[in-house]
Structures are given as structure tokens and as C-alpha cells.
Amino acid sequence: MNEFKKYPKDLGFWMPAEWEVHQQCWMMWPTGLDLDRYPDTSRMRMGYAAAANAISRFENITIIANDSDTEECKNLIDQSVGLYNLQIDDSWCRDTGPTFITDGKNLGGVDWEFNNYGELLGPDFLNDQNVAKQVINLTSAKYFDAPIILEGGGIHTDGKGTLMITEDVLLDTNRNPGLNKKDAEKILSNYLGVDNFIWLIAALEYDDTGGHIDNLACFAPGGIIIALNEDNPEDSNHERLKENLSRLKNAKDIKRKAYEIVKIDQPSYDSFLGKRLPMSYINFYIANNGIVMPVFNDAKDDDAIEKIQNVFKNKRVVTVPGRPIVEGGGCVHCITQQQPLIT
């Protein structure tokens, strides 16, 4: 078999944990092409700029922008933030950028197929389909073309062989009709170097992604999983978040050891354009020596900050306004993609 047709796992590649050292962070600048969903592009861009500037305090960052948006972007971001022009449709770099993998000495990039979240948001995504391959080429990473439709926000790993995903995303009939868990796990194992899986369900009302994991739970160092919680049984997200917590309490790592679960309450109910905002403190970015997390001017902000700081004791927690980003459908983790450092 030709080497370049082998799976990354065959070549010793795996997806590292997000708290491993980064070469840089990638973002994409809001385009303003969908004013029905993002009627206040300027507000959204201010939110992205705040996130980018915060991340730049900890690591290098490059923002991909349409040529027509370059000047406005430059006016809002710090001088240390890099800019690169590509034609893009939308601004969710976690989802349309590559998933970076490594064999410890070389960088690889997985290019998942992209169809705009099961065409939930319409069919206009042809430029974004090409972003992952272009970024992989820019980084001189080894290119791996994956055979399933998936977005980067739909997966999270502890870097030690375990992957968290949601049934609603990967097994969505508008993404991967006919795909079952067994076949999905085989593909994910081949491309991400994982062998142990934790399956959750979509939980947040009006989540445009259909249920990405990065709003619901994430791994942290020391065998910890941070999970979104809602104690109010009248809340529309309560039952599904409760189900996820039950699954996490029974989850084991690759060595069959239970995880420590740290629960963080979801922010209080808020809405935008007549729909509930899918807000989550867990949608944060793990940077070199820092955590850039969203806050919502909510009574629960301080508790979330304290818990995340307690988990990431060796990193500085920096907060940014979350709502301007969430109004567009995601948050800080959704708009970023880390590139691991190769030494």
C-alpha cells in the first residue's frame, strides 16, 4: 500500500490533548455574508477581536480573512496577530479548519468533509469546504482526507486514546446516512489514533451545530472531565444534560479508570432573535499558559471562572464577552483551532 494512502494511525499519528504546547492558534474572521443569522456583524467582529487579542497574550495567532475585510480586521486586532487572506464563507475555524495530529516529530492534518452542519444552515459553504486543505498546505503538514462528514467542534480527546463525541452529530442522517457507531469508531480510530469512546447526546436547545461536544464537556489534565450542568428540572436543557452526566459518571479512560467529573452550571436563560442562546462556559480555548473563556454578565460567571481556574492551576484564566460570539451560533472554542508544536 502506498504510504500516503495509509491511515494516520498506521503511520503513528494521533490527536494530542488541547493543553499540549501549541505552535499557534488559527481563527477565521466573520464575513457578514449571512445577515439573517448574524444581523450585527460589527458586534460579532468585536467579540472575535477580543478573543483573538486575549489569545495573543499567550501564543501566536493567525486570522484568516476575506480580502475585503482585512482593513477592518487590522483596526480591531493587536499588531501581534497575523492575517492571511483566503476566500471564506463563515467564521468557525474549529469546524472547517483541519484537525491537527502528530506522530511526535511531524505534523499532520485531517480534512473532514464539511456540509454546513448537515446543511442545517443552508448549502452555501463551498469556500469553507476548502479551508482545511489550504491551512494544512500552509503549515506543510501531512494531508489526510477523511471519508466522513464531521466538524472539529464535534470531537474532544484526552490525548491518551479516548475521544468524546455526540451521537446526534456523527450519526446525523443529514451528515452520514447509514453510519453506525461501530463503523464510526473504526474511522475515528484510524484518523485520530484513539481506541476508547465516550458517546454523549446533544443537549442545548437551538444549537446550530446539532450538538457539538465543545458546548457540553471537555477533558482536562489529571483525568478530569468538565461537564455542563443544569439543576432546574423546568429548564429545557435539564434532562439531556442530566443524561450526559450519567454517561460521564460511568465513563472510563483507556486504562479503565473513572474520570473525575467537575460540573459547571450553564448560564441563565437568554435569547436572541426569538431563540434561546446555546451558552456554555465550557466553550473556552486552552492556550499556552492560559485559558480564554467566555462570560455572560451572569450571576454564575464567578463560580465558572473559579472552577476552571481550579482545574487548570498552572494557566491564567482570562475572560472575554461571550454573548457577541454566541449570537452567531458558537463561542470561543468554536472560533479557534490549535496547531500543536512539533519539536
Catalytic residues: 334
Distance in angstroms between the alpha carbons of the first and the last residue of the chain = 29
Bridge-based pairing of strands 61-65 and 82-85 is: parallel
- Alpha carbons 229 and 266: distance in angstroms, whole number: 6
The values of phi and psi at residue 267, to 5°, are: -60, 165
Residues 136 and 128 sit within 8 Å (Cβ to Cβ): no
Residues 51 and 334 sit within 8 Å (Cβ to Cβ): no
- Alpha carbons 195 and 218: distance in angstroms, whole number: 17
DSSP 307: H
What are the residues whose beta carbons fall under 8 Å from the beta carbon of 175, sequence distance 6 or more? 115, 117, 118, 148, 149, 150, 169
Cell matching residue 289: 499558559
Q: What is the CA radius of gyration of the chain?
A: 18
β-bridge partners, 251: none
Residues 254 and 159 sit within 8 Å (Cβ to Cβ): no
